[in-house]
């Protein structure tokens, strides 16, 4: 808090050098290092490889993958669930924390919202990638065509397409509206083509009283609206499976437990992204151990919830011994044992005890261990949901296992690279730190002396917009 | 006249010879994919003969169960297709429109009998094998689902012939390839709407049962249970 000498009772913004703060927060936009070019180059190359392999698969046929007769869905569909799951981070961090006035969210929210948007873009491509005839995907679009045929709205795949599209539009709008004051700030500080670029994007935002009031109303409304969408999206993704007559898939627990798993992996993803942003753009002063501590607490809760859901799912099948479902779960101890162990160890055994320790939560490098392990564990979980149920269908005569070939691995590596590339480009051209929200937080923060110590106190006036006048 | 096409499979008569599979392949332009692809569980057969073992060696006995498409009245595959590529036709059959299929493969996942097959590649019929392709059917391209149709081309032909001759279809006019071929006569095809047809009489047999009936799919393929005892 450099700049003007602090006076007791002043809010923190009053003795903050705003120009310096802006420079610190906008490092990603202002400085371009060779590492950024290298990262974009690598991500671009992997993405290109993924696209080439996808073209090869589309032109040759799905036979080049590892799919077979009972296992018609595999790595692609598991990855779809995984990517859509990751997208649930931004919504939780931004919307729920905004509504509950958790002010610590300010430095985390933009990065998390961007993650939502880009994971959805990647996840939304997979339903097209996995088609046998990708070039006919428009048959599933509801538009009046000469074929005079409407898509089959009874199909969970149609619900899925609509849910993902709605969520993508919603989260992009949420991301963009929240970014407008920061874009205006960038416009005021930049020159040349950047100034034109930001002028167009900031929609004439000048920071007048009326504009701030509308901005606050809009962002609160979006926050309220996006939560039911997020919950419904992963419920609907789960219904792609739960609605089917497939033992192991057909289960009422799927919807809530997919949502929990999604938020779980989403927060883990946010922790990883935040740690990378902190390091890459030198945001140590903004993204403090406090943020990782709070995210760690959320993760710890989700670990417990996830464990509980899995336990109840197993318990009912184990007690019931319905032979069809029992065969599916038995295969977890057979060919799918490595996946099963990965899931249990990475999702619960490693993260739960670690996240219980404050020392781990408050250390940026240590908290990466449970976060990365959860992302791996959740990928294993998704594979375990999709594959064994198909591999152990009702008829034992056709049972077969599945292992992906280099084709699926390449295409999905391309998908991951696409996410990295989009994120890097976003961080370069858009404010990755929510500057206005961070300033707002400083504005609300005052030092209070209680007894012998001075503590930060955050007070928020009802009718917040008045404060910005 | 509305038809209720159905198939009866007498498990007492089935010897597991596999002639039905071969006949089906020849009739319906089904590709032969070779050993390597078959090893990857990608057989394209529209009817398969499941073989289970009963008892332990040396008393083990093979049990055969031919499984074509069940032509379910309440078909799980139809519900989940996003583009209506598989639908219920006017005869109550599960019809498949290859041109409309986009290859989500959801129908195959949702079929409890796993009778749907997927075109993993564009399959080729090397000369002179292309001469045997039936002109009544399309050759399916890569990326679409297919399955047993109860030889719908034969049903259509029988209807046309009957219409030309100005009469109703008679029992025995429609014989799918598998039924025509079955050496021990384990398969029978006919119209359940016709109270005098052979299949209507045959299905009064108390041995009748349907596969996975508890799933509520209401299949049109009815099995007659294998008897145990002397002479069997």
Q: Residue B117's beta-bridge partner residues?
A: B146
Distance from CA of B1 to the nearest CA of A (A): 27
Largest Cα span, chain A: 80
B-chain residues within 8 Å CB-CB of A139?
83, 100, 102
Distance from CA of A246 to the nearest CA of B (A): 6
CA distance B199 to B1: 18
| pLDDT digit string, tens, across residues A139-182 | 998 888 887 888 999 999 999 999 999 999 999 998 998 899 98
| pLDDT digit string, tens, across residues A330-382 | 999 999 999 999 999 999 999 999 999 999 899 888 999 999 999 999 999 99
Confidence of residue A463 (pLDDT cuts 50, 70, 90): low
pLDDT of residue A466: 44
Distance from CA of A417 to the nearest CA of B (A): 25
A-chain residues within 8 Å CB-CB of B50?
395, 397-398
| pLDDT digit string, tens, across residues A38-68 | 999 999 999 999 999 999 999 999 999 999 9
Residue B143 has its nearest CB partner, among A61, A154, A243, at A61
Identify from B76, B104, B111, B116 which residue to disrupt to test chain A contact, counting A C-beta atoms within 10 A and taking the largest count: B104
**Chain B touched by A441 (CB under 8 Å):** no
Lowest mean pLDDT among A187-191, A268-272, B9-13: A187-191
pLDDT of residue A1: 44
CA distance A28 to A266: 23
pLDDT of residue A461: 59
CA distances from A65 to A77, A105, A336, A447 (A): 13, 43, 19, 62
Q: Which two tokens stand for residue B31?
A: 């590709």
pLDDT of residue A4: 53
Does the pLDDT of residue A128 top 90, yes or no?
yes
A-chain residues within 8 Å CB-CB of B112?
245, 393-395
Contact A367, A271 (CB under 8 A): yes
Q: How many helices (H) and strands (E) does chain A have?
A: 19, 2
> Which DSSP symbol is given to A356?
T
Give me the phi and psi of A335, to 5 degrees please. -65, -20
Residue A244 has its nearest CB partner, among B48, B80, B114, at B80
Q: Residue B194's beta-bridge partner residues?
A: none
Does the pLDDT of residue A78 top 60, yes or no?
yes
* Spatial CB neighbours of A74, under 8 Å, sequence gap ≥ 6: A65, A66, A67, A383, A386, A387, A402, A404, A408
Does the pLDDT of residue A242 top 50, yes or no?
yes
Confidence of residue A189 (pLDDT cuts 50, 70, 90): confident
Q: Cis (ω within 30 of 0) for the bond into A432?
A: no
Average pLDDT over residues A420-436: 89
Q: What is the secondary structure of A77-99 as a DSSP string? A: HHHHHHHHHHTHHHIIIIIIHHH
Contact B163, B157 (CB under 8 A): no
Contact B106 A155 (CB under 8 A): yes
Q: In chain A, pLDDT over 70 holds for what percent of residues?
A: 96
> Which DSSP symbol is given to A346?
I
> Which DSSP symbol is given to B226?
P
- Among A239, A119, A207, smallest CA distance to A168 is for A119
Count the neighbouring beta carbons within 10 Å of the beta carbon of residue A312. 12
Contact B174, B160 (CB under 8 A): no
pLDDT of residue B20: 95
- First-to-last CA distance in chain A? 23
- Among A260, A292, A362, A306, smallest CA distance to A111 is for A292
**Chain B touched by A321 (CB under 8 Å):** no
pLDDT of residue B104: 94
Q: Residue A448's beta-bridge partner residues?
A: A455
Contact A154 B105 (CB under 8 A): no
| pLDDT digit string, tens, across residues A196-211 | 999 999 898 888 899 9
A-chain residues within 8 Å CB-CB of B123?
none
Question: What is residue A450's three-state secondary structure?
Answer: strand
A-chain residues within 8 Å CB-CB of B113?
394-395
Question: What is residue B6's three-state secondary structure?
Answer: strand
More confident residue, A18 or A215: A215
Contact B41 A398 (CB under 8 A): yes
Residue B105 has its nearest CB partner, among A72, A137, A149, at A72
**Chain B touched by A56 (CB under 8 Å):** no
Contact A73 B105 (CB under 8 A): yes
Cα atoms in the Cβ-side hemisphere of radius 13 Å centred on A309: 20
CA distances from A54 to A128, A156, A232, A245, A413 (A): 11, 25, 30, 30, 11
Residue B79 has its nearest CB partner, among A67, A136, A155, at A155
B-chain residues within 8 Å CB-CB of A159?
none
Distance from CA of A139 to the nearest CA of B (A): 6
Does the pLDDT of residue A235 top 70, yes or no?
yes
- CB burial class (10 A; 0-12, 13-18, 19+) of residue B73? middle
pLDDT of residue A7: 61
**Chain A touched by B48 (CB under 8 Å):** yes
Residues in chain B: 232
Q: Which two tokens stand for residue B136?
A: 């009544």
Which H or E run includes A116?
helix A106-129
CA distance A416 to A12: 40
Contact A132 B142 (CB under 8 A): yes
Distance from CA of B107 to the nearest CA of A (A): 9
Strands B145-146 and B187-191: unpaired
Contact A393 B142 (CB under 8 A): no
* Spatial CB neighbours of B166, under 8 Å, sequence gap ≥ 6: none
Beta strands in A168-279 (DSSP E): none
Q: In chain A, pLDDT over 90 holds for what percent of residues?
A: 52
> Which DSSP symbol is given to A281?
T
**Chain A touched by B229 (CB under 8 Å):** no
Q: Which stretches of chain B drop beneath a pLDDT of 50?
A: 232
Average pLDDT, chain A: 88
Q: Is the dihedral of CA A190, A196, A198, A202 positive or negative?
A: positive
């Amino acid at each position: 808090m450099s700049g003007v000498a602090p006076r007791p009772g002043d809010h923190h913004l009053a003795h903050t050098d705003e120009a310096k703060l802006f420079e610190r927060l906008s490092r990603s936009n202002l400085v371009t290092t060779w590492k950024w070019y290298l990262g974009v180059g690598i991500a671009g190359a992997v993405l290109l490889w993924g696209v080439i392999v996808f073209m090869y698969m589309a032109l040759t046929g799905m036979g080049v993958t590892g799919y077979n007769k009972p296992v018609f869905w595999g790595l692609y569909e598991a990855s779809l669930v995984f990517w859509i799951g990751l997208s649930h981070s931004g919504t939780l961090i931004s919307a729920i924390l905004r509504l509950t006035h958790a002010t610590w969210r300010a430095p985390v929210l933009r990065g998390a919202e961007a993650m939502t948007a880009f994971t959805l873009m990647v996840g939304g491509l997979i339903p097209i990638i996995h088609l046998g005839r990708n070039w006919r995907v428009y048959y599933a679009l509801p538009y009046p065509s000469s074929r005079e045929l409407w898509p089959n709205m009874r199909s969970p795949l149609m619900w899925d397409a609509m849910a993902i599209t709605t969520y993508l539009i919603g989260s992009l709008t949420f991301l963009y509206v929240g970014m407008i004051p920061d874009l205006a700030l960038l416009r005021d500080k930049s020159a040349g083509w950047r100034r034109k670029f930001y002028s167009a994007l900031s929609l004439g935002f000048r920071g007048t009283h009326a504009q701030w009031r509308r901005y606050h109303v809009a962002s609160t409304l979006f926050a309220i609206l996006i939560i039911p969408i997020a919950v419904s999206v992963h419920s609907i993704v789960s219904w792609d499976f739960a609605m089917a007559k497939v033992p192991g898939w057909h289960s009422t627990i799927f919807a809530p437990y997919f949502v929990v798993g999604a938020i779980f992996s989403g927060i883990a993803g946010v922790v990883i992204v935040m740690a990378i942003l902190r390091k890459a753009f030198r945001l140590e002063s903004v993204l403090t151990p406090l943020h990782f501590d709070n995210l760690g607490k959320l993760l710890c809760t989700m670990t417990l919830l996830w464990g509980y859901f899995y336990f109840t799912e197993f318990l009912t099948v184990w007690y019931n011994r319905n032979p069809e479902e029992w065969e599916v779960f038995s295969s977890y101890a057979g060919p799918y044992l490595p996946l099963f162990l990965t899931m249990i160890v990475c999702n619960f055994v490693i993260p739960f005890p670690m996240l219980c320790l404050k020392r781990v939560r408050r250390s940026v490098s240590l908290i990466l261990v449970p976060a990365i392990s959860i992302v791996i564990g959740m990928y294993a979980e998704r594979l375990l949901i999709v594959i064994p149920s198909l591999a152990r269908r009702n008829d034992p005569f056709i049972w077969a296992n599945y292992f992906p070939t280099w084709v699926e691995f390449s295409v999905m590596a391309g998908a991951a690279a696409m996410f990295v590339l989009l994120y890097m480009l976003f961080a370069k051209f858009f404010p990755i730190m929510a500057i206005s929200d961070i300033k707002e937080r400083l504005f609300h923060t005052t030092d209070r002396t209680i007894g012998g110590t001075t503590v930060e106190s955050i007070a928020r006036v009802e009718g917040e917009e008045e404060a910005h006048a | 006249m509305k038809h209720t096409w159905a198939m009866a499979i007498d498990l007492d008569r089935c010897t597991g010879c596999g002639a039905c599979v071969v006949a089906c392949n020849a009739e319906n332009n089904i590709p032969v994919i070779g050993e390597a692809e078959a090893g990857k569980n990608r057989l394209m057969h529209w009817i398969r003969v499941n073989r289970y073992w009963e008892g332990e060696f040396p008393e083990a006995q093979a049990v055969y169960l031919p499984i074509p498409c069940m032509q379910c009245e309440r078909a799980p595959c139809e519900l989940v297709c996003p583009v209506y590529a598989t639908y219920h036709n006017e005869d109550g059959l599960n019809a498949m429109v290859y041109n409309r299929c986009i290859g989500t493969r959801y129908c195959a996942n949702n079929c409890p009998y796993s009778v749907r097959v997927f075109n993993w590649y564009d399959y080729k019929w090397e000369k002179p094998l292309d001469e045997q392709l039936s002109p009544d059917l399309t050759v399916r391209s890569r990326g679409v689902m297919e399955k047993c149709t109860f030889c719908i081309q034969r049903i259509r032909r029988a209807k046309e012939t009957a219409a030309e001759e100005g009469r109703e279809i008679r029992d025995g006019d429609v014989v799918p390839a598998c039924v025509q071929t079955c050496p021990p006569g384990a398969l029978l095809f006919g119209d359940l709407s016709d109270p005098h047809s052979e299949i209507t009489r045959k299905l009064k047999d108390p041995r009748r049962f349907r596969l996975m009936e508890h799933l509520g799919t209401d299949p049109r393929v009815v099995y007659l249970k294998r008897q145990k005892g002397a002479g069997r």
